[in-house]
Amino acid sequence: MKGSVKNAAPNRSRSRARFNLRGRVLMVACALGLCSISLVGRAAYVQLVNSDFYQREGNERFVRDIEIPISRGMITDRNGEPVAVSSPVESIWCDPKELLKTPDRLPELARALGEPLELLTSRISQRAEKEFYYLKRRINPDEARKILAHGVPGVYSKREFRRFYPQGEAMAHVLGFTNIDDRGQEGVELAFDEWLRGSPGEKKVIRDRRGRIVENVDLVRQAQPGKDLVLSIDRRIQFLAYRELRNALVSNNASSGSAVVLDVATGEVLAMVNLPTFNPNAASLGKQEAHRNRAITDMIEPGSTIKPITAAAALSAGLVTPGTQFNTAPGWIPNGRWKTTDTHNYGLLDVTGIIRKSSNVGAAKLAALVPDRQYYEFLRKFGYGSKTGSGFPGEAAGEISPPERWSGTTKQTMSYGYGLSATPLQIAHAYATIGNGGRAIAPTFIKGQRNESTEVLSPAIASQVLHMMQTVTEPGGTATQAAILGYHVAGKTGTARKASAGGYSREYRAFFAGLVPVENPRFSMVVVIDNPQAGSIYGGIVSAPVFRNVMEGSLRLMDVPPDDIETWIAAQEKNEAKRPLAARLPTAIAEPATAVDVRAALPAPLPGNVQ
């Protein structure tokens, strides 16, 4: 019995152990089940009930709306040659919040960027609360890859575009330039910024923790690339004008200059050059003063270039004919407290002679015949005192006072180019109007744009004035250096003192404005050279050669037929006669050893050769 009692105790212990193990397993199973149910419930709540909140939180960490970069439209000259193009570059940017989490990497980043650590640290610290900041803009893609290769957290790259101007300084004032954000700042780039710029696109992407795009989610906005623009400018004529104007400034020790070339029939601007200039490809862009497009923004007194307009006013009023004579002796007439003078006493001059000799006295007597209001309105019809309508940014209107504000000397001085102001473009436009049979067309910088024409002068009188100006470039005129072999050239010189506070300084501007060829004018060109100091100050000597050299090249480039073939043939024959006999021999004949050999080798006698 004792044995039975002793055996019963262990049995109860084992029974309790078995019971406890089973319970514990059950409890664990229940706990795990409850956890699973809780997790499933939580997941269901997160995924189904409160999904928007968590989706938004996830998107803020990995989904980004990024801009789709676009290229700015290309600008070409009239022949399709690129004059402004955009090339892809990279910009390095950072997330300051993320970057400052690893401050120990800043020295490495500073070395990669090539800037002092103190400066980089200061830049980042000042923007610690921002999520975007440019570290380096518009750099070579290879350079950007080297910076990113360091793997600094929070540092990324972005595709952008940088403007490049193949013509450099020669076309800087026409084209202008763009800023760091590729927005037009001056010139054509500013005038047609919206057309050229286009509209960037936008898309949603998923980035990994290193900022790399792992998936494109959605296209938010379609990119609209910038549109191309075809200018009326001919880069060949542009470079000719730039080269010749630069040479003239150097040889005459002048301070600045401008040149404008227009297509007479269409009003298209074929060339526009200013010096000093700047390099639009350079980071600094030079001095601000050099950015000024003097041909459009500078208002200058036109000097004697106004005299053909004065003559046209008197002719249009029926008051004179080209042969009407005026006595300019003794070379001056009173003008209030001052005198209107000529460089010489020309005595008796007809209207053509007044233009040929550039007589101030003659111009004053012509203007005196025309009623004040009529003379004023005539100048206004030619565009003086108003913008040309070119649409170029910053264009000045010039100034011309109405008769009510004239003093006793105003009209007389206006007749030879003082007391009013105009831009070089306005002068070129006025001369193009004469060359176009008296029809004015607003200048344009866009190829193919046709502005409406307005008749401001009868074709007959326009032709008369044109042939008067032709005598200026012929023997006895003031601009024989503007003559072009094979072509009749019409033009007018000008030499005007520069206005200063309280009067006029002792500095001058030298002008030449002309048209070629006379029989069917194709080009109108104006050359203005400011403050020549190397000898002559006269437009016929300083500015006329620039006109001749540029127009010679332009006539060849545009295949304009000569209208003075007789003079050209005569000059060729004269030059041929001056050449040595040996130089006129056919080049295929070997050089003979003796004079006898020469005569034996000669072919049949050539016309004009001495036998």
| pLDDT more than 70, % of the chain | 85
Residue 199 burial (10 A CB sphere; 0-12, 13-18, 19+): middle
Burial 286-298 (b: 16+ CB within 10 A, else e): eeeebbbbbbbbb
Q: How far apart are CA 492 and CA 479, in angstroms?
A: 7
Identity of the residue numbered 212: R
- Evaluated on CA atoms 424, 425, 430, 432, the torsion sign reads positive
The DSSP secondary-structure symbol of 589 reads S
Q: How far apart are CA 344 and CA 351, in angstroms?
A: 17
Q: How far apart are CA 565 and CA 558, in angstroms?
A: 17
Contact (Cβ atoms closer than 8 angstroms) between residue 534 and residue 252: yes
Any catalytic annotation for residue 304?
Answer: yes
Q: How confident is the model over 45-59, as pLDDT tens digits?
A: 767 666 666 556 555
Residue 126 confidence (pLDDT) above 70: yes
What does the H/E/C string look like for 168-214? HHHHHHHHCCECCCCCECCHHHHHCHHHHHCECEEEEEEECCCCCEE
User: What is the structure's pLDDT at 59?
Assistant: 56
Contact (Cβ atoms closer than 8 angstroms) between residue 292 and residue 274: yes
User: What is the structure's pLDDT at 419?
Assistant: 92
Residue 62 confidence (pLDDT) above 50: yes
Q: How confident is the model over 454-485, as pLDDT tens digits?
A: 999 999 999 999 999 999 999 999 999 999 99
User: What is the structure's pLDDT at 597?
Assistant: 39
User: What is the structure's pLDDT at 598?
Assistant: 32
Q: How confident is the model over 271-287, as pLDDT tens digits?
A: 999 999 999 998 777 78
The DSSP secondary-structure symbol of 310 reads H
Residue 603 confidence (pLDDT) above 50: no
The DSSP secondary-structure symbol of 579 reads S
The DSSP secondary-structure symbol of 474 reads S
CA distances from 206 to 65, 97, 274, 408 (A): 9, 19, 51, 79
pLDDT, mean of residues 441-466? 95
Confidence of residue 67 (pLDDT cuts 50, 70, 90): low
| Contacting residues for 358 by C-beta, under 8 A, at least 6 apart | 304, 307, 472, 478, 492, 493
Phi, psi of 313 (to 5 degrees): -65, -45
User: What is the structure's pLDDT at 225?
Assistant: 84
Rg of the chain over all Cα atoms, to the nearest angstrom:
40
Q: Which of 245, 263, 264 is nearest to 254 (CA)?
A: 245
Residue 535, SS3 per DSSP: coil
Neighbouring C-beta atoms of residue 434, cutoff 10 Å: 29
Phi, psi of 25 (to 5 degrees): -60, -40
Length of the chain: 611
User: What is the structure's pLDDT at 222?
Assistant: 77
pLDDT, mean of residues 116-129? 90
Q: If you search the block for the tokens 């034996």, which residue do you land on?
A: 600
User: Beta partners for 91?
Assistant: 158
User: Beta strand pairing status for 201-207 and 213-221?
Assistant: antiparallel
**In terms of pLDDT, which residue wins out, 65 or 505?**
505
User: What is the structure's pLDDT at 587?
Assistant: 46
Helix, strand and coil in the chain, % to nearest 5: 40, 25, 35
**In terms of pLDDT, which residue wins out, 323 or 211?**
323
Contact (Cβ atoms closer than 8 angstroms) between residue 516 and residue 500: no
Q: Which of 517, 524, 497 is nearest to 241 (CA)?
A: 524
Angle at CA 139, nearest 5°, toward 135 and 142? Answer: 110
Roughly what angle, to the nearest 10 degrees, separates helices 307-316 and 360-369?
30
What does the H/E/C string look like for 412-444? HHHCCCCCCEECHHHHHHHHHHHHCCCEEECCE
Q: If you search the block for the tokens 């026409």, which residue do you land on?
A: 174
Say which of 232, 304, 316, 421 is annotated catalytic.
Answer: 304
Q: Please tell me whether the peptide bond between 393 and the residue prior to it is cis, using omega within 30 degrees of 0.
A: no
Predicted TM-score (pTM) of this structure: 0.81
Identity of the residue numbered 155: V
Contact (Cβ atoms closer than 8 angstroms) between residue 522 and residue 553: no
Contact (Cβ atoms closer than 8 angstroms) between residue 185 and residue 172: no
Q: How far apart are CA 297 and CA 295, in angstroms?
A: 6
pLDDT, mean of residues 124-152? 90
Contact (Cβ atoms closer than 8 angstroms) between residue 483 and residue 489: yes
Query: Which of 120-129, 167-176, 589-598 is predicted least confidently?
Result: 589-598
User: What are the tokens at 447?
Assistant: 């190829």
Query: Which of 140-149, 246-255, 574-583 is predicted least confidently?
Result: 574-583
Q: How confident is the model over 191-210, as pLDDT tens digits?
A: 999 999 888 777 666 666 65
User: What are the tokens at 427?
Assistant: 């002068």
Q: How far apart are CA 482 and CA 545, in angstroms?
A: 6
